[in-house]
Amino acid sequence: MKSSATLAYGAFELKKSYQKNLGKGLLVAALLHLAVIGGFLLYSFLTKEDLDAKGRIITSLAELGPPPSLTQQEKPQLAIALPEVAPPSVGTPKPVPDEEVVEVEFITQKQLKETVPALTSEGDEVSINIPEEELLPTRGEFVAVEVEPKIITKVPPKYPELARKANIEGVVYLDLLVDKEGKVREVQILKASGANAGFEEAATEAVKQWIFSPAIQNDKPVAVWMTLPIKFEVK
């Protein structure tokens, strides 16, 4: 009887402790499950933030989408800052003392007529009357005249001293431009003497002082070129 009572008492104790231990085990198991689930959720949350921070990872070509168009790209608008331009301003005139004023002389109509050649017009044609003294022929230009120039005043050339002592003679041919007043306007050497004794210089210097009667064309004096030989002879 004693042993039977002891066994009954021990089974009760074991049953009581078993239920207590089972409750603790269930609680521990539930806490472990909650810890595992919480850790998984926390890990998923942290890895998602990391992916969002780094950017999207493309694992397939289909996710790339169509390439951008090369012809329909919008050009960036460049903003150009224009410089500010100040509006024009009108200055205020300042009085100037009388001693600083510059007097301006205007040409009169009379002075203008004296300096500008006269203009004559017939219909649509306009002609300019140029003074005849400005119309000088060029060397070699043929001018038809009725009366040739004639010598009025003749200055003899100086015979070069070295040529005189050496008894050197020669002839120099000169081209003269005689104007309508009979004065020699220009002298050119047509043919030198070849003696190299100073005949050309002496002849040119003397002929520049000669006076001619002008050439006549249509009863008017005209300028003309003429050729003149100058002889140097030892007497």
CATH number of the CATH domain containing 227: 3.30.2420.10
Higher-confidence position of 63 and 6:
63
Task: Identify whether 122 is part of a domain.
Answer: no
Task: Identify whether 39 is part of a domain.
Answer: yes
Q: What is the average pLDDT across 113-131? A: 58
The edge-to-edge listing of strands for the beta sheet with 170-178 is 184-191, 170-178, 224-232
pLDDT digits (tens, 9 = 90+) for 103-119: 556 566 666 666 655 55
Question: If we measure between CA atoms, which residue out of 143, 165, 155, 164 comes closest to residue 218?
Answer: 143
Task: Identify whether 132 is part of a domain.
Answer: no
Q: How many domains would you assign to the chain?
A: 2
**Can you count the helices (H) and strands (E) in the chain?**
4, 9
Task: Identify whether 84 is part of a domain.
Answer: no
Task: Identify whether 69 is part of a domain.
Answer: no
Cβ 217 vs Cβ 146: under 8 Å: yes
- Provide the whole-model pTM: 0.43
Task: Identify whether 19 is part of a domain.
Answer: yes
Quote the tokens at residue 215.
Answer: 């050439």
**CA-to-CA distance for 195 and 162, rounded, in angstroms?**
11
Domain range enclosing 28 = 1-48
Task: Identify whether 60 is part of a domain.
Answer: no
pLDDT digits (tens, 9 = 90+) for 58-107: 656 666 666 666 665 666 666 666 666 555 544 555 565 655 555 556 56
Q: Which of 15, 30, 48 is the last residue of a domain?
A: 48
Task: Identify whether 115 is part of a domain.
Answer: no
Question: If we measure between CA atoms, which residue out of 122, 228, 224, 229 comes closest to residue 180?
Answer: 224
Residue that has been written with the tokens 């949350």 in this structure: 45
**β-pair partners for 224:** 178
Residue 178's CB is within 10 A of a number of other CB atoms, namely 27
pLDDT at 2: 47
Q: Which of 33, 48, 63 is the last residue of a domain?
A: 48
Cβ 174 vs Cβ 151: under 8 Å: no
**CA-to-CA distance for 92 and 10, rounded, in angstroms?**
129
